[in-house]
Amino acid sequence: MFDARPQHNEYLRHRAQQFRSQVARRLDGSLTEDEFKPLRLMNGVYLQLHAYMLRVAIPYGTISPDQMRTLALLAEKWDKGYGHWTTRQNIQYNWPKLVDIPDMLDALADVGLHAIQTSGNTIRNVTTDAYAGAAADEVVDPRPYAELLRAWSTDHAEFQFLPRKFKIAISGGEKDRAVIAAHDIGLRLRRNEAGELGFQVWIGGGLGRTPILGQVVREFLPEADLLPYVEAIISAYNLAGRRDNKYKARIKITVAERGLDVMRDEIEAEFLNRRAVFTGVDQDMVAEFRAVYAAPAFRNETDGDYEERRAASVGFRSWTDTNLSTHKAPGYASVMVTFKAPGQTPGDASADQMRLLADLAERYGHADLRISHDQNVVLPHVHKSDLFALYSELKAAGLATANAGLVSDIVACPGMDYCALATARSIPIAQEIADHFRARDIEDEIGKIDIRISGCINACGHHHLGHIGILGLDRAGVENYQITLGGDGYDIPAIGQRPGAGFPAEEVVPAIDRIINTYLDLRDSAEERFIDAYRRVGAAPFKAALYPVNA
Amino acid sequence: MSKTFTPSIATPAVITANDLRMGHCVWMRDGGWTADPREAQLFEDEAIAEIAMLDAIGQANLVVGPYLAEARRGPDGRPEPTHFREAFRRRGPSNYFHGIQAELEASNV
């Protein structure tokens, strides 16, 4: 995260001090809970099932080693030794005491981190591709624009009380890895026929109880117009968005009810007004951020003994086959470190693991770390000659699980094990599925597949986007799990469809097993992924496998 | 989430909330709040429960979000949850043995 400006940290310390005063006034009775609740939410503090929860923003998932060490400090000193990566590239702490949270915010402020706007009806953490600045297919690094949006949206006076929360994602690759179609605003960097840089702008996407994919409101927005256009979108939404019903307040409903053309007309009219008053300081800032996010000094070296090591070690070869992504620089790879080891809670990271990753990023990864949408951590720039050493250190710490994108790399929200909104648990279901397929020892045979679980219709586990999605519900006082099929957040955005009735908790693993067996039987080759096979044959064979009696 | 209902002998209830400072689950007992759900007071009379809820709401300096949760009388006479959500609040998360429940057990060893 960019935090080079001293005034940024000073501002964060001021905010932490402000919250300290608010906590003191709540405790001495000067503030009621009704008065205090919006104040704590403005600082990312929720009250969950068993404890308070502090959600810390990791802007666009980019974090430095020192910031990672501070996250470890918080886990160790004020929590129970771990934190939880979220699907929005943030971290959550599940056990802080209210009286300690001001100290936690002070520690975060020391390294330019905070929990501002991680809750409330405001612009949330801007998200992007975990491989930004590294991916081989990248058109332009999206992070300077993500930082511009972060700096602009933080404490933006006009947008602190929107009809509902507002999420922006930005993608810079040929392939969308930021799931822009599932965001209130999705931005896709591209060049037009003249070679000029700009954005394809999507609006009105979102998951939750009414999952809707966004629509393109502007095919090409010149790069310099980003802020006035985004401001115009949110301003139009701020005026038109419904405040009478929180379930109909997101921009996706505004667009659906009013129509894209009406929204576009209002946005374009507002855009003309807003653009006129932009002085160009935003472009100066983008230039500054581009310098901050300039590519590191990549080494021009041979791959060393990389291939020999791959040939000699089955474990290393499996890990490189599964957890590496193609890098834009010769001799480099991006490494996905998964937090989905056997028995692990998906996305939980211990303080020791965080510190190790900080050290490894400095030693092997140009001091760069990313939190991914799928609750893992990416070291975006690792030279191939360092991969075996990196792998060895990760393996010693239990962090070299070769399952990135496989059936045990399951995305799961905290569910009813932590969340006050949840209607069923997610974590044990994810663990049971992962354990089952590990026991069958067919993870590699199944290949790439995206399984996602949410413990309620708010869909924090992004189950709608899973090739296989699972939604936990309360059916007459019993946990029940609906299955969706065919969702996709990355290649061809799609909302998963429900083939039939849900299953009791103990029947989820057998149901997923039948789905996987059906896929293995009908795929046309080992290279055909689950989602591709599903698209080819449709839902019918999977439905028949799920509900054999009714088929 | 617990539904709204009227406590009675057929549908008893406990009053539960979260501790303001620490955040953990607490249950109303005679004369205060306890982190041990087995010590919770079981309400089987609507009027008494209503007065107790008013008392709980008045203790905003101690607890957050008090509500009536349906319960039943167990074989030992102590309250037991009827819904899985309340069962999870009593035993803590299923992935780690953490929270006030773990602390209580450790203190009893």
Probe site for chain A from B96, B97, B101, B103 (most A CB atoms < 10 A): B96
pLDDT surpasses 80 at A551: no
pLDDT surpasses 90 at B105: no
Closest by Cα among A363, A450, A371 to A411: A450
pLDDT given for residue B107 in this prediction: 83
The rounded distance, in Å, linking the Cα atoms of A128 and A118 is 16
Probe site for chain B from A49, A427, A457 (most B CB atoms < 10 A): A49
Chain A CB contacts of B100 under 8 Å are 50
Beta-carbon separation of A418 and B18 below 8 A: no
Nearest-Cα distance to chain A for B98, in Å, is: 8
- Lowest mean pLDDT: which of A51-55, A114-118, A381-385, B99-103? B99-103
Distances (CA, A) of A64 to A88, A361, B66, B107: 18, 9, 41, 40
Q: What is the pTM of this model?
A: 0.96
| Residue in the structure block whose two tokens are 């000073």 | A10
Chain A CB contacts of B88 under 8 Å are 49, 416-417, 425
The rounded distance, in Å, linking the Cα atoms of A9 and A109 is 6
Average pLDDT over all residues of chain B? 92
The rounded distance, in Å, linking the Cα atoms of A463 and A454 is 6
Beta-carbon separation of B64 and A33 below 8 A: yes
Chain B CB contacts of A96 under 8 Å are 23
pLDDT given for residue B103 in this prediction: 87
pLDDT surpasses 60 at A44: yes
The rounded distance, in Å, linking the Cα atoms of A76 and A99 is 16
| Per-residue tokens: A349 | 């990271």
Helices (H), A241-276: 251-258, 260-275
Q: Are A297 and A290 in contact (CB under 8 A)?
A: no
pLDDT given for residue A447 in this prediction: 97
Q: Is A312 helix (H, G, I), strand (E, B) or coil?
A: helix
Query: What percent of chain A stands above pLDDT 70?
Result: 98
Distances (CA, A) of A468 to A142, A187, A395, A512: 29, 26, 29, 8
The rounded distance, in Å, linking the Cα atoms of A468 and A484 is 6
- Who among A32, A49, A477 is closest to B60 (CB)? A32
Task: List, edge to edge, every strand of the sheet that includes B25-29.
Answer: B32-34, B25-29, B13-19, B63-73, B79-81
pLDDT given for residue A490 in this prediction: 86
Contacts (Cβ under 8 Å, ≥6 apart) of A3: A9, A111, A112, A113
What's the rounded mean pLDDT across residues A332-345?
97
The rounded distance, in Å, linking the Cα atoms of A197 and A184 is 22
- Who among B85, B89, B98 is closest to A95 (CB)? B98
Chain B CB contacts of A427 under 8 Å are 93-95
Which pLDDT band holds residue A5 (cuts at 50, 70, 90)?
A: low
pLDDT surpasses 90 at A387: yes
Q: Are B37 and B79 in contact (CB under 8 A)?
A: yes
Q: How is A412-465 classified by DSSP, letter by letter?
A: E--GGGT-SS-SS-SHHHHHHHHHHHHHHT-HHHH-S--EEEESSTT-TT-GGG
Q: Phi and psi of A159, rounded to 5°?
A: -120, 30
The rounded distance, in Å, linking the Cα atoms of A220 and A191 is 9
Which pLDDT band holds residue A544 (cuts at 50, 70, 90)?
A: very high
pLDDT surpasses 60 at A43: yes
The rounded distance, in Å, linking the Cα atoms of A418 and A439 is 28
The rounded distance, in Å, linking the Cα atoms of A295 and B97 is 44
Exposed, middle or buried by CB within 10 Å (0-12, 13-18, 19+), for A259? exposed
pLDDT given for residue A157 in this prediction: 93
Beta-carbon separation of A49 and B89 below 8 A: yes
Chain B CB contacts of A345 under 8 Å are 95-96
Handedness of CA A252, A257, A263, A264 (dihedral sign): positive
Counted residue by residue, chain A has a size of 551
Q: Is some CB atom of chain A closer than 8 A to the CB atom of B87?
A: no
What's the rounded mean pLDDT across residues A416-423?
96
What's the rounded mean pLDDT across residues A341-354?
97
pLDDT tens, A297-306?
999 999 999 9
What's the rounded mean pLDDT across residues A71-80?
98
pLDDT tens, A208-264?
999 999 999 999 999 999 999 999 999 999 999 999 999 999 999 999 999 999 999
- Who among A32, A50, A98 is closest to B99 (CB)? A50
What are A469-473's contacts with CB under 8 Å, separation 24+?
A469/A496, A470/A426, A470/A429, A470/A508, A470/A512, A471/A502, A472/A415, A472/A416, A472/A422, A472/A423, A472/A424, A472/A425, A472/A426, A472/A429, A473/A423, A473/A424, A473/A502
- Lowest mean pLDDT: which of A153-157, A358-362, A433-437, A493-497? A153-157
The rounded distance, in Å, linking the Cα atoms of A413 and A46 is 15
Beta-carbon separation of B94 and A418 below 8 A: no
pLDDT given for residue B104 in this prediction: 86
Chain A CB contacts of B92 under 8 Å are 50
Counted residue by residue, chain B has a size of 109
Beta-carbon separation of B24 and A423 below 8 A: no
pLDDT given for residue B109 in this prediction: 61
Query: What percent of chain A stands above pLDDT 90?
Result: 96
pLDDT given for residue A1 in this prediction: 45
Average pLDDT over all residues of chain A? 96
Closest by Cα among A386, A381, A376, A380 to A406: A376
- Lowest mean pLDDT: which of A262-266, A382-386, B1-5, B79-83? B1-5
Please state at what angle helix A65-78 crosses helix A101-110, rounded to 10 degrees.
160
Q: What angle do CA A96, A150, A201 make, to 5 degrees?
A: 125
Cβ neighbours around A371 below 10 Å, total: 27
pLDDT given for residue A3 in this prediction: 52
Distances (CA, A) of A194 to A145, A174, A191, A197, A199: 21, 18, 8, 9, 14
pLDDT given for residue A550 in this prediction: 53
| Per-residue tokens: A544 | 């028949």
Which pLDDT band holds residue B1 (cuts at 50, 70, 90)?
A: very low
Nearest-Cα distance to chain A for B76, in Å, is: 23
What's the rounded mean pLDDT across residues A281-310?
94
Give the DSSP H/E element, type plus range, for residue A349. Answer: strand A348-350
The rounded distance, in Å, linking the Cα atoms of A314 and B101 is 44
Beta-carbon separation of A417 and B100 below 8 A: no
| Integer-rounded Cα radius of gyration of chain A | 23
pLDDT surpasses 60 at A2: no
| Residue in the structure block whose two tokens are 């989602």 | A531
Q: Is A401 helix (H, G, I), strand (E, B) or coil?
A: coil
Give the DSSP H/E element, type plus range, for residue A27. Answer: helix A6-27
pLDDT tens, A166-210?
999 999 999 999 999 999 999 999 999 999 999 999 999 999 999
pLDDT surpasses 90 at B108: no
Which pLDDT band holds residue A17 (cuts at 50, 70, 90)?
A: very high
Beta-carbon separation of B21 and A29 below 8 A: no
pLDDT surpasses 50 at A421: yes
pLDDT given for residue B6 in this prediction: 86
Cβ-Cβ pairs closer than 8 A, A with B, add up to 77
Probe site for chain B from A45, A50, A429 (most B CB atoms < 10 A): A50
| Per-residue tokens: A347 | 């996305």
